[in-house]
């Protein structure tokens, strides 16, 4: 039996249903009204439990956050894919179920993943976020992320701007 309220650990195959549920709830909460409904539903439906099992089988680093033994959030992370940031680590995704947002759990997950990346000799951190996702941008700014660059991609014929935040190794 554990007495810890918060558990942070590497995701396991048994977590795949929970990961799919977290992804669905978080994405619908974050992107409803930002992405077209059909595009959003397609993106969410692609990320069922089998997708997560495949990600784990491919070796994707996934950290799961549980609160009182209930899966509440996750982060995927690894080497930085974003050129010209000067960062070696990247958080690809960090999502919490809506009811756990704004309570400090995202900050805890972020800090833990940052330490994990540093321990893997991937100093410095970058995160890419939809520029229209104001709550996510405010979250990363509150963590002292500096806006390092802008990028964009197309989704359903719409141009989506991305904001790239960076944390050099010596900050925070």
pLDDT tens digits for 121-149? 999 999 999 999 999 999 999 999 999 99
- Say if 89 falls within a structural domain: yes
CATH number at residue 143: 3.40.630.30
Predicted confidence at residue 170, as pLDDT, reads 62
Mean pLDDT of 45-62: 96
- Say if 105 falls within a structural domain: yes
| Pairing label, strands 125-130, 146-155 | unpaired
- Say if 172 falls within a structural domain: no
- Say if 93 falls within a structural domain: yes
Reported as type and span, the H/E element at residue 26 is helix 16-31
The alpha carbon of 117 is separated from its chain's Cα centroid by a whole number of angstroms, namely: 14
Burial of 160 (0-12, 13-18, 19+ CB in 10 A): middle
In the numeric block, the tokens 């994707």 are attached to 60
- Say if 81 falls within a structural domain: yes
Full residue range of the structural domain in which residue 114 is found? 6-167
- Say if 1 falls within a structural domain: no
The pLDDT-based confidence of 30 (bands split at 50, 70, 90) is confident
- Say if 115 falls within a structural domain: yes
Question: Looking at 2-6, 98-102, 141-145, 161-165, which range is the least confident one?
Answer: 2-6
Closest CA to 130 of 30, 25, 17, 2: 30
Half-sphere exposure of 44 (CA within 13 A, CB side): 19
**Tally of structural domains, the chain:** 1
Is the pLDDT at 40 greater than 90? The verdict is no
- Say if 54 falls within a structural domain: yes
């Amino acid at each position: 039996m554990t007495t810890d309220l918060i558990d942070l650990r590497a995701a396991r195959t048994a977590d795949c249903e929970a990961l799919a549920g977290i992804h669905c709830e978080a994405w619908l909460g974050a992107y409803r009204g930002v992405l077209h409904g059909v595009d959003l539903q397609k993106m969410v439906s692609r990320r069922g439990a089998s997708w997560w099992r495949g990600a784990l089988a491919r070796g994707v680093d996934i950290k799961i956050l549980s609160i009182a033994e209930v899966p509440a959030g996750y982060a995927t992370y690894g080497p930085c894919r974003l050129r010209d940031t000067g960062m070696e680590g990247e958080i690809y995704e960090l999502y919490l179920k809506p009811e756990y947002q704004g309570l400090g759990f995202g900050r805890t997950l972020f800090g833990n993943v940052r330490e994990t990346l540093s321990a893997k000799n991937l100093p410095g951190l970058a995160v890419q976020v939809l520029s229209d996702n104001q709550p996510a941008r405010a979250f990363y700014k509150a963590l002292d992320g500096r806006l390092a660059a802008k990028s964009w991609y197309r989704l359903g014929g719409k141009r989506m701007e991305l904001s790239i935040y960076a944390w050099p190794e010596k900050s925070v």
